[in-house]
A = this chain, B = another copy of it.
Amino acid sequence: MDNKKKKVTFDDIAKYTHFSKTTISRYFNNPDSLTLKNQEIIAQALVDLNYQENKLAKVLANGKSEFVGILLPNLFLHYYSEMLNQILSTYETFGYKFLVFTSNGSEETERKYLQELLAYKIEGLIVLSHTIPSQELASYHIPVVTIEREDEYVNSINTDNYMGAVQASSLLVKNNCDILIHINSDVSPSVPSYGRIQGFRDTCQQFNIRHKMILTDLGNSYPETQQRIGEVYNLIKEKYPDKRKGIFLANDTHANIFLNLLMRDYGTLPDDYRIIGYDDSPIASEAIIPISTIGQQIDKIAHEAMKLLVSQMNEMKKRRPVPQTEIIHKMITPILVRRDTTT
């Protein structure tokens, strides 16, 4: 590799174009102060001289790194990888570059990484991981937007989980189920997805329909989860043999496991079972019978998160930034996706 390439300076560009160094500097910092023709001459010179802009020098001068940090818990769940994909694709709209980190459960590494991000002068932070409390996030004095996690002290964009659960439960009621069953882990009320539990309960009470919540640890790996859902499946089968059961599961991976258990037992989806998942992950359409689900508008959530973050990062660049007086929590409505595990 040619590592000896000489660095092209403003001096070189000035000599080549016969403009002053001040003019060259103006081209980079305030191009509109030059005529279009002169802008073109300098632009051509940069190509001819193979000039490589050093953005870091600019960042040091004006504090605008155009970096945003993203903290994710993992990329194994499709929800996170698709959210990351959508956030990254806002580059075309907003121009921000993303420094990405997945904690995979290591709190110590996540804190260390966050300190590094701050040292690199990131302008803002999007947080999906659950590790660091929102009160601590707020103490870093940079704009923060969280997605689907505890968000008491910071701005957030979340799916309207309550509405999603109402949609799912109402569909099961319309499917003439005798009993509605919600299978979920024991979610904390401080987490946005707790809304699913509330939405399920309220809908059942409103329709005055018999219902049951099975809130339990559903495991942290696929084999574990398979085992736990298997136990829940047997329990339901034993306890409600003559009822038409409407099962609302916390995500599509769980719904698919439940469906496969039924298919292996009966070779088909029995008439006394109706199933709906959550997330609209690929597995929902790839299952042996395509699974009805609640789709989160991941593209919209990502865009709204960046829009909110950008407005605050812009505020911070003003000479006298106005501090945010009220924390913003915005909800995005989910979409009911009807497939073949409901009618």
Interface flag for A113 (CB, 8 Å): yes
- Measured between alpha carbons, how far is A81 from B267 in the docked complex, in Å? 33
Q: Which B-chain residue is minimally distant from A92 (CB atoms)?
A: B109
Q: What 1/0 mask marks residues of chain A from 290 to 319 whose CB sits below 8 Å from any chain B CB?
A: 000000000000000000000000001000
Complexed CA–CA distance, A1 and B89 (Å): 28
* Interface 1/0 per residue, A58-81 and B, CB below 8 Å: 011000010000000011101001
Given contacts A222-B285, A256-B286, A286-B283, whether A88 and B109 have CB atoms under 8 Å apart is no
Known: A91-B113, A102-B85. A120 touches B3 (CB 8 A): no
The oligomer's copy count stands at 2
Q: Could you say which of B85, B88, B101, B222 contacts A88, with CB atoms under 8 Å apart? A: B101
Contacting residues, chain B, for A55 (C-beta < 8 A):
116, 119-121
Cross-chain contact of A100 among B88, B256, B324 (Cβ < 8 A): B88
Name the residue among A109, A119, A263, A316 with the largest chain B CB count within 10 angstroms: A119
Cβ contact within 8 Å between B120 and A324: no
Is A163 part of the contact surface with B, judged by Cβ < 8 Å?
no
Bound CA span A1–B142, Å: 8
- Beta-carbon nearest neighbor of A138 in chain B: B1
Is the pair A89, B65 in contact by a Cβ cutoff of 8 Å?
no
- Distance from A154 Cβ to chain B, minimum over Cβ atoms (Å): 11
Q: Determine whether A32 belongs to the interface, using a CB cutoff of 8 Å to chain B.
A: no
User: Which of B76, B106, B257 is within 8 Å of A82, CB to CB?
Assistant: B76
Write out the residue numbers on chain B whose beta carbons fall within 8 Å of the beta carbon of A260.
286, 288
**Contact residues, A32-74 vs B (CB, 8 A):** 52-57, 59-60, 65, 74
Do B91 and A85 have beta carbons less than 8 Å apart? no
A321 at the interface (CB under 8 A from B): yes
A6 contacts B by Cβ under 8 Å: no
- Binary interface profile of A, 3-38, with partner B (CB < 8 Å = 1, else 0)? 101000000000000000000000000000000000
Residue in contact with A141 in the complex, picked from B2, B74, B142, CB distance below 8 Å:
B2
Query: B65–A75 contact, CB under 8 A?
Result: no
Bound-state CA distance A316–B1 (Å) is: 9
Residues of B within 8 Å of A286, CB to CB, are: 222, 253, 256-257, 260, 283
Question: Contact flags (1/0) for A97-128 with B, using CB distance below 8 Å?
Answer: 11111101010010001001111110000000
User: Which residues of A from 129 to 177 have beta carbons under 8 Å from B?
Assistant: 141-143
Q: Is A84 an interface residue (CB 8 A)?
A: yes
Task: Give me 22 A-to-B residue pairs in the complex whose CB atoms sit less than 8 angstroms apart, sorted by A's number.
Answer: A1-B321, A1-B324, A3-B141, A3-B321, A52-B118, A53-B119, A56-B120, A56-B121, A81-B84, A88-B102, A91-B101, A91-B109, A92-B106, A92-B109, A97-B99, A98-B100, A99-B99, A99-B100, A264-B288, A267-B268, A282-B283, A287-B288
The 10 closest A-B pairs by CB, nearest first: A81-B81, A75-B85, A55-B119, A288-B288, A75-B81, A53-B119, A100-B100, A267-B267, A3-B321, A55-B120
